[in-house]
Amino acid sequence: MERIGLFGGSFDPVHLGHLLVAQAAREELDLARLFFIPAAQSPFKPDAQPSPAPERLRLLRLALAGQTWCEIDEQEIRRGGVSYTIDTMRDYARRFPDAQRFYLVGADHLPQLPQWRAAEELARLVEFVVIPRPGQAEAPFPAPFRGQWRKGFPLGVSSSLIRARAKAGLPLDHLLPGPVAEAIRNNGLYL
């Protein structure tokens, strides 16, 4: 049975924390393919307008260049508005009915999962996989979700940290791939 990973987020911008989640999931779950699914607008960040989608997509493409097992799915961007994971997972269930579908999340999302739209159906459509950030202790999945914790390569980098550092003129090197850091600098993003 094909095993595919699904990784949603704002990716504003993508950073090494995200890429290590992807790499860990690939190895620990033996994934054949992993889809990065950038949200148009996250339901969890209603007050924060993300950077324009073309900018976030451009950085994602730079970050994933040459990683043929990774794909960028633009469906949430195309739909626009608030992006609900259930809409996207219904699409994956239709397109990959026979695949084992793993949805990757950081541990910070775990307590809120029951509030995600159509939680019951979502829990049936995908298996959740938590990849922890540093210091996040393993916790049980709230009903109706089932899933697993994996080790990952815990790294304390976040998009907010990157945006704050870019704004303050601090170096971004080694926190995200070189070409992404360069594009942020050269295009004056997050100033």
CB of 179 to ligand ATP, least distance (A): 19
Looking at 10-18, 26-34, 82-90, 167-175, which segment touches ligand ATP (CB under 6 A)? 10-18
Backbone angles phi, psi at 33, to 5 degrees: -145, 150
CB of 12 to ligand ATP, least distance (A): 6
Looking at 17-25, 75-83, 90-98, 169-177, which segment touches ligand ATP (CB under 6 A)? 17-25
CB of 98 to ligand ATP, least distance (A): 26
State the Cα angle at 17 between 45 and 109, rounded to 5°. 40
Give yes or no for residue 108 binding ligand ATP (CB under 6 A). Answer: yes
Give yes or no for residue 147 binding ligand ATP (CB under 6 A). Answer: no
Number of residues that bind ligand ATP (CB under 6 A): 18
* Of positions 133, 150, 165, 185, contacts ligand ATP by CB under 6 A: 133
Number of residues written out for the chain = 191
CB of 62 to ligand ATP, least distance (A): 16
Q: Which of 102, 74, 87 is nearest to 43 (CA)?
A: 87
d(CA 154, CA 182) in angstroms, rounded, equals 24
d(CA 99, CA 186) in angstroms, rounded, equals 41
Q: What separation in angstroms does the CA of 142 have from each of 8, 9, 145, 189?
A: 20, 21, 6, 38
Give yes or no for residue 110 binding ligand ATP (CB under 6 A). Answer: no
CA dihedral 156, 126, 27, 57 (to 10 degrees): -60
* Of positions 4, 6, 19, 21, contacts ligand ATP by CB under 6 A: 21
